[in-house]
Homo-oligomer: A and B are copies of this chain.
Amino acid sequence: MSVSVQVSPLDKIFPSGIFPSACPSRVLLDHITSKWGVLVLVSLTGRTLRWGELRRRVEGISEKMLAQTLKTFERDGLVSRVALPVIPPHVEYSLTPQGDELVTLLHPLLGWVAVNAEAILGPEAGSD
């Protein structure tokens, strides 16, 4: 599989080579690379999931952290939340078009991490 994305070269965006602290990109990067951000976004690739399904896929995430992560992405317009007016409540989450665009860039990263983690950290890492 080969991924091809149009990207702006970073040296055009930050010609001084300095990543300024007072910059919206710093805040957005923090949201995406938050403890559970990448896994939550990638889990939603190409599918709509309910709360419980999402929690099962991102193993180990607490209710509180899932709520917080989804809320942030909803506010950023990367995830959309639909609450169906039924009893019991039925809430669904999916990626917005912008979230879709972003996850195409997270897939190669997570794929690389998954393929290289054991060689980098040793097979014992991560096993509790």
Q: What residues make up the interface of A, taking CB atoms closer than 8 Å to B?
A: 1-10, 13-14, 17-30, 32-35, 37-39, 42-43, 45, 56-60, 76-78, 98, 101-102, 105-118, 120-123, 125-128
Contacts and interface: CB of A to CB of B under 8 A. Distances in A.
A19 B61 CA distance: 10
A35 B37 CA distance: 12
B19 A58 contact: yes
A25 B126 contact: yes
Copies of this protein in the assembly total 2
A79 to B, nearest CB: 12
A25 B19 CA distance: 27
Given A1-B9, A121-B27, A105 B98 contact: no
